[in-house]
């Protein structure tokens, strides 16, 4: 079994900032126009903020999953394989407990 290869981001942080500046926008202004706190888009490099990541990606015409692939892991199937994980019997007792025996 080979280990899963991590997907490389489409752009690194300095390229993202440069592309935003080339369009005549700043991270602070992008935050304001997106209805976020003024420093939120600037903190995306070190802090996960899905709203800010979406705002940056939309402005650049990209998907957030392509710019930050490590923050959007690709999930596997959510249904358990019944051959591998057999159904468990109910843990409830089939007979009601005798309260006198417990006391």
Q: Are 7 and 69 in contact (CB under 8 A)?
A: yes
CA distance 76 to 98: 45
Cβ contacts of 70 within 8 Å, gap of 6 or more: 6, 9
Identify the band that residue 15 occupies on the pLDDT scale cut at 50, 70 and 90: very high
Superfamily of domain 13-71, CATH level 4: lambda repressor-like DNA-binding domains (1.10.260.40)
71-90 pLDDT tens trace: 887 776 666 666 666 666 66
Q: Average per-residue pLDDT in the chain? A: 82
Question: Is residue 69 over pLDDT 50?
Answer: yes
Per-domain boundaries in the chain: 13-71
31-68 pLDDT tens trace: 999 999 999 999 999 999 999 999 999 999 999 999 99
């Amino acid at each position: 079994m080979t280990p899963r290869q991590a997907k490389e981001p489409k752009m690194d942080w300095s390229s993202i900032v440069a592309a935003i500046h080339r369009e005549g926008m700043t991270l602070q202004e992008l935050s304001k126009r997106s209805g976020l706190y003024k420093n939120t888009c600037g903190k995306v490099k070190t802090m996960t903020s899905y709203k800010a990541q979406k705002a940056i990606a939309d402005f650049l015409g990209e998907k957030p999953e392509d710019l930050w692939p490590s923050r959007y892991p690709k999930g596997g199937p959510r249904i358990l394989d019944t051959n591998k994980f057999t159904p468990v019997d109910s843990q409830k007792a089939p007979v009601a407990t005798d309260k006198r025996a417990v006391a």
